[in-house]
Amino acid sequence: MTTARPQKIADYAPLVFPAVMLTVFFVVPFGIMVAVSFFRRVQGAFYEPDFVLANYARFLSVFFGEVLGFSLVLAALVAVVAVTIAFPFTYLLARLPRRRQVLWLVALLSIVSLSEVIVGFAWSTLFSRTAGITNVLVALGLMDEPMSLSPSFGALLTGLSYHAFPYTVLVLYPALARLDPTLMEAARTLGASPPCAFVTVVVPALRNTILATLIMVFVFALGSYLLPQLLGRPSNWTLSVLITDQAIYQSNLPFAAAMAVFLVLVSLALVGLSLLVGRKEAAQ
């Protein structure tokens, strides 16, 4: 059915509404944002049209360098933690009986769709002095008195990994659910134990999937804008937080736009890379 080319102008009719909506409300806003990144900021007002590179020149400051470096390291850490736990987990999940698999998937979807506000609130409760996990440790006699664990870098890393974990499982799920079962059977017939077969056969067979997933989770973590504010210290702020802060609280839309353009370029390059890596595996 997909081989026929559109015959008459009328055949294009269904395309009109989606094309107009996506162009007007995605391409145009994107274009305006790029344009604003070259505008000049006016103190007390929003900005005025101009063509200046001052907003991009601010990237060369030590402060911006630190924030960028921290964001990249944090996102990389989250990606490694999430994929390390999610890969064996998803492998086991995809081999469960259908009913239990569906239950897990419902739980994972429910958590991944939670707002960062909710995840941040839930974890700051869990890390609090009055209602937190330290109370459990005190009850077990492992600690003398309950204490607050947030804000801290550890709290932020935990919250982000928690939020990224279900996302990682859902990204890995198709590849692992379609994995050829004969691979594992062959390894088992040749005498490998299940964990040994998993490490020496499944992981190498899917190394490109793992790499592509690492990149996807990296981009996901890079986009986190609220958890650093709720669970981390001001020194743990990421590029996304800085963009929000500049746009809303400092009313410096041109600088925020310039940083956003930068973030787009980084993300697009990474997503493109992950698609390339993924395609290579599909071709094999």
Partner 1 sequence: MSRLLARLFMAVVGIVLAAPIVVVAGVSFNAQRTLTFPPVGFSLAWFGEIFADAGWRGALLTSLAIAASSAALAVAIAFPLAWFLWRWHAPWARLFQVLGTAPFILPPVITALGFLSFWATAGFYGAPWTVVISHAVFLVTLPLVTITLGFSSIDPSLTEAAATMGADDRTVLRTVVLPLVTPYLVSGYAFAFVLSLNEYIIAYMVAGFTVETLPIKIFNALRYGYTPTMAAVTVFFVAAAALVFSLVARFGDLPRLLGAWSSRES
DSSP state of 60: G
Please state the closest distance from residue 123 (CB atom) to partner 1, in A: 6
Within a 13 Å sphere around the CA of 228, how many CA atoms are in the beta-carbon half?
A: 23
SS3 letters for 78-98? HHHHHHHHHHHHHHHHHCCCH
Please state the closest distance from residue 140 (CB atom) to partner 1, in A: 14
Terminal Cα distance for the chain, rounded: 28
**Helix-helix angle 207-222:62-94, to 10 degrees:** 130
The neighbouring-strand residues paired with 201 are: none
Q: How many CB atoms sit inside 10 A of residue 73's CB?
A: 10
Please state the closest distance from residue 164 (CB atom) to partner 1, in A: 12
Please state the closest distance from residue 283 (CB atom) to partner 1, in A: 19
Nearer to partner 1, 154 or 174 (CB): 174
Please state the closest distance from residue 131 (CB atom) to partner 1, in A: 4
Nearer to partner 1, 144 or 180 (CB): 180
